Structure 1
Amino acid sequence: MVEATDFKNAMSWLTGAVNVVTTSGASGQHGFTASAVCSVTDTPPTLLVCMNQAARSHLHFIENKILSVNVLGAHHQHLSNVFSSKMSSEERFEHATWTKLKTGAPVLEDALVSFDCQIEQTQEVGTHTIFVCRIVAIQHSPHEQGLVYFNRAYHHVGQASML
């Protein structure tokens, strides 16, 4: 039997892109920092997002049925910390500039890329809910360096722009 601590320590060696996942709707505007995001298929374009059921905004994502995955650039490390902090949802959104695409979920204006999604399916597995999300719109920015999390620390990847 693999212990949870052993699993967490092993997973710290799996490099993951850092994302801020947001929602908005009748249940309010909320967001959290996530590395558990991946593509499922390109036909139709679909993402998978995992969220801890104990997160204070979990129910809001289920009720709103939409979300935006905002892939953070190297310049967004502070925003990752904000969206994983104990700040209120309202305070979190004050730390960046947001827009909306088709669903109305908050989209980070200068994210490397943002995926605007409808939540089509949910599946509870252990402590988490898996959201299967159909992508309805995509927005890119010109930034070239991404933010990843590896061995419990942030790192930058990609080409630095020449000034």
Structure 2
Amino acid sequence: MTATTQDAVAPPGGSGTVPPDAFRAAMTRFARSVTVVTAYDGADPVGCTATAVLSLTDRPPTLLVSLASDSGTLGHIRAAERFGVSVLPYRLRALAARFAELPAARRFDGVDHDGAYGAPLLGGAVAAVVCRVTRYVALGDHTLVVGQVVHVATDEGAEPLIHFARRQTRPER
């Protein structure tokens, strides 16, 4: 599939962008880790599945997460001013659907997690990060949450769950 705008530069007053379906199709070709972004609602853990997570800089160590602006998890991050990100391992791939589809109040039922660093982190994660929020940036229907990293943990032996071409997979060895 190929889609382009008619002009290399958007005309004044025109959107100058490709159709949303063409954009979504192209984005399926960007392989990315499947993560669960978390926070606390008082003492209760909350979270959602996310793939729009990236390292912003290492001086200071900073992470960026993109969440729907109407996301319940985003509301709890705003209240807590901290968030966690757990990179799911392939062996726990069922958690991706759980944190995307179940009612928010049931997502953590029976899920191993640790909140020692101010945000819930899932047990068995390939990598886990806790951040202190430094900025929110509203863009379109999403909000970018920028946070300075205050804790990291990794499991060098775990295989990450990868989202690619509208399916979940793992890296080939």
Answer whether TM exceeds 0.5 for this pair. yes
Inter-partner Cα distance in structure 2 for 1:44 and 1:97? 30
Inter-partner Cα distance in structure 2 for 1:149 and 1:24? 26
User: What is the SS of the residue equivalent to 1:119?
Assistant: strand
Work out the number of aligned pairs and report it.
157
Show the 5 A alignment for 1:84-103: 84-85=100-101, 87-102=102-117
Runs of 4+ with >3 A deviation:
25-28
Pick one of 140, 149, 154 that aligns with 1:126: 140
Inter-partner Cα distance in structure 2 for 1:120 and 1:27? 22
Pick one of 151, 157, 163 that aligns with 1:143: 157
What's the CA shift for 1:158? Answer: 5.9
Percent of aligned positions that are identical: 28
Change (3 A) 1:56 1:25: closer
Q: Quick check: 1:65 aligned with 2:81?
A: yes
Inter-partner Cα distance in structure 2 for 1:72 and 1:46? 20
User: Equivalent residue for 2:53?
Assistant: 37
* Partner deviation per Cα, 1:60-101 (whole Å, 9 max, x = no partner): 22222110010111112100110010x222311114201123
Give TM-score, length-normalised by structure 1.
0.89
Change (3 A) 1:36 1:106: same
Change (3 A) 1:100 1:53: same
The answer to whether the Cα contact below 8 Å between 1:67 and 1:119 also exists between their aligned partners in 2 is yes
The answer to whether the Cα contact below 8 Å between 1:53 and 1:127 also exists between their aligned partners in 2 is yes
Q: Which blocks of at least 5 consecutive residues in structure 2 are unaligned?
A: 1-16
Show the 5 A alignment for 1:11-30: 11-26=27-42, 28-30=44-46
Residue identity matched to 1:141: D
Q: Quick check: 1:10 aligned with 2:11?
A: no
* Partner deviation per Cα, 1:117-143 (whole Å, 9 max, x = no partner): 111100000010001110001122353
Give TM-score, length-normalised by structure 2.
0.84
Q: What do you get for the CA RMSD once the two structures are aligned? A: 1.7
Inter-partner Cα distance in structure 2 for 1:44 and 1:158? 33
Q: Which blocks of at least 5 consecutive residues in structure 1 are unaligned?
A: none
Higher strand share: 1
Change (3 A) 1:118 1:158: farther
Inter-partner Cα distance in structure 2 for 1:94 and 1:143? 26
Change (3 A) 1:6 1:95: farther
User: What is the SS of the residue equivalent to 1:93?
Assistant: coil
